[in-house]
């Protein structure tokens, strides 16, 4: 293998202090055992119990969101938030092609259609300029709604994704959304602990979502959260995820087809212990980032991706950029590192190339194509930054 690959391997091993390294494993530093035992003892391990509300309140306090609704995972959080914001069958939803497949799946679960837009190198999120130019070109306003001139379908919302915890330029995206009458739902699945001008990810748009999958910053085993500052949006979301059941001490009255998407109490118990240690976890993660920054600073073939201006990022996954000419060169490096038991990953395969999304509408995706070829994520488990 070439010198570059060996350098990367050596630096990662130094930083992770290990011969093998996982991409992002959870860390349990607090009262996880106590809360889980207490939850089991209470027998309330399912959709009712005290930990759900306690966890929601802790998330509200940490993020500054007025409302937080706990659900079973981040994907259904997107699906429910879109529903509540008013998505209709066959609406188009603007999303980056460079995101986890869950974003696009959730759009399809609403019977709506992903409409892919390009990303920018600056934040790795949706490029505001591309978004605006694209909409100018392909859309038309009618009765306060936006339509795609080519497909005839309504364009309902935009979902900015804060990739790897770096916050997209929300001021510009919101301005464009306002101008074109679009709803804004932030996919902040990866960005718990990321702030832009001291405002937490997921609190800029009409709604936002978080994920607590085991590989995210904190975990509930599986879980997600809908964030919003709008009380009617919050109320509707809670209703929909609770089988659309009307409040009554003993009658079962449901007024529409709802879902059973509530987070179980036992998962929330884990979440409570996790979020109590969020600042320690974020500190450990910052330690790792500092080491990677230093390790790759003087290497002119490797660019460490730094948080965009104004953003205090959680650096969910640390990422480097290497100017490969072909994807096969990237894959050669990844093969080498993974064979050495170092979990490095490419970014996701661009979604517009996947078979189920190939026919979806899209803008030019030149920057996304370039980023797909050049980005490599590095082992970023909080464990590797412990106590240093």
Binding site for ligand PLP (CB under 6 A): 73-75, 99-100, 102-103, 161, 187, 189-190, 211, 213, 224
Residue 365: CA count within 13 A, CB half-sphere: 22
Q: Shortest gap between Cβ of 205 and ligand PLP (angstroms)?
A: 15
CA distance 76 to 224: 8
The pair of structure tokens assigned to 3 is 């010198």
* Closest CB to ligand PLP among residues 215, 299: 215
Question: What DSSP state is assigned to residue 134?
Answer: H
Please, which residue, 73 or 381, has the CB nearer to ligand PLP?
A: 73
Q: How far apart are CA 218 and CA 124, in angstroms?
A: 22
| Cα–Cα distance list, 332 to 12, 70, 258, 337, 348 (Å) | 17, 41, 47, 9, 17
71 vs 295, which CB is nearer to ligand PLP? 71
User: Which residue lies nearest ligand PLP, judged by its C-beta?
Assistant: 74
| Nearer of residues 92 and 187 to ligand PLP, judged by Cβ | 187
Non-local CB neighbours of 381 within 8 Å, separated by 6+ positions: 16, 21, 22, 23, 24, 25, 26, 27
Smallest separation, CB 348 to ligand PLP (Å): 9
8 vs 126, beta carbon nearer ligand PLP: 126
**In 150-167, which positions are buried (b, 16+ CB within 10 angstroms) versus exposed (e)?**
eeebbbbbbbbbbbbbbb
- Least separation in angstroms between residue 336's CB and ligand PLP is 26
Closest CB 33 distance from ligand PLP, rounded Å: 23
Nearest to ligand PLP of 201, 282 (CB atom):
201
Name the minimum Å distance from CB 209 to ligand PLP: 7
Q: Rounded to whole angstroms, how far apart are CA atoms 291 and 14?
A: 9
Q: State which residue, 220 or 242, has the beta carbon closest to ligand PLP.
A: 220
Distance of CA 17 to the CA centre of its chain: 28
- As measured in angstroms, the least distance from the Cβ of 170 to ligand PLP is 15
- Minimum CB–partner distance for residue 213 and ligand PLP (Å): 4
Q: Locate all alpha helices (DSSP H) within 227-312, ordered by sequence.
A: 231-241, 265-275, 278-296
Q: In angstroms, rounded to a whole number, what is the distance separating the alpha carbons of residues 229 and 185?
A: 12
In the complex, the smallest distance separating the C-beta of residue 275 from ligand PLP, rounded to whole angstroms, is 16
Beta-carbon contacts of 351 under 8 Å, excluding residues fewer than 6 positions away, are: 95, 97, 98, 99, 101, 103, 104, 114, 116, 357
Question: Smaller CB distance to ligand PLP: residue 106 or 334?
Answer: 106
């Amino acid at each position: 293998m070439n010198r570059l690959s060996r350098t990367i391997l050596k630096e990662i091993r130094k930083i992770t202090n290990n011969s093998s390294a996982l991409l992002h494993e959870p860390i349990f530093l607090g009262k996880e055992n106590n809360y889980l035992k207490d939850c089991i003892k209470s027998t309330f391990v399912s959709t009712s119990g005290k930990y759900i509300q306690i966890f929601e309140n802790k998330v509200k306090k940490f993020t500054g969101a007025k409302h937080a609704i706990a659900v079973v995972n981040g994907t259904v959080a997107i699906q429910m938030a879109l529903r509540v914001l008013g998505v209709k069958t066959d609406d188009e939803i603007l999303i980056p092609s460079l995101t986890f497949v869950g974003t696009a799946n959730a759009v399809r679960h609403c019977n709506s259609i992903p409409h892919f837009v390009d990303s920018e190198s600056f934040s790795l999120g949706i490029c505001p300029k591309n978004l605006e130019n694209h909409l100018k070109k392909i859309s038309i306003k009618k009765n306060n709604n936006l339509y795609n001139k080519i497909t005839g379908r309504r364009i309902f919302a935009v979902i900015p994704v804060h990739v790897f915890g770096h916050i997209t330029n929300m001021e510009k995206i919101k301005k464009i959304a306002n101008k074109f009458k679009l709803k804004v739902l932030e996919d902040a699945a990866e960005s718990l602990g990321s702030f832009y001008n001291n405002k937490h990810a997921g609190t800029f748009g009409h709604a936002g979502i978080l994920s607590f999958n085991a590989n995210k910053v904190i975990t509930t085993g599986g879980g997600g959260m809908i964030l919003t500052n709008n009380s009617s949006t919050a109320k509707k979301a809670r209703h929909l995820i609770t089988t659309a059941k009307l409040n009554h001490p003993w009658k079962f009255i449901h007024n529409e087809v709802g879902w059973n998407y509530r987070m179980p109490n036992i998962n929330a118990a884990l979440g409570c212990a996790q979020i109590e240690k969020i600042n320690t976890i974020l500190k450990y993660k910052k330690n790792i980032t500092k080491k990677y920054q230093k390790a790759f600073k003087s290497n002119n073939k490797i660019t460490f991706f730094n948080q965009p201006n104004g953003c205090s990022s959680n650096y969910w996954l640390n990422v480097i950029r290497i100017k490969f000419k072909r994807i096969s060169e990237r894959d050669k490096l990844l093969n080498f590192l993974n064979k050495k038991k170092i979990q490095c990953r490419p970014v996701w395969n661009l979604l517009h190339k996947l078979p189920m999304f190939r026919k979806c509408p899209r803008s030019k995706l030149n920057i996304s194509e370039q980023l797909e070829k050049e980005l490599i994520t590095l082992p970023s488990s909080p464990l590797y930054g412990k106590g240093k």
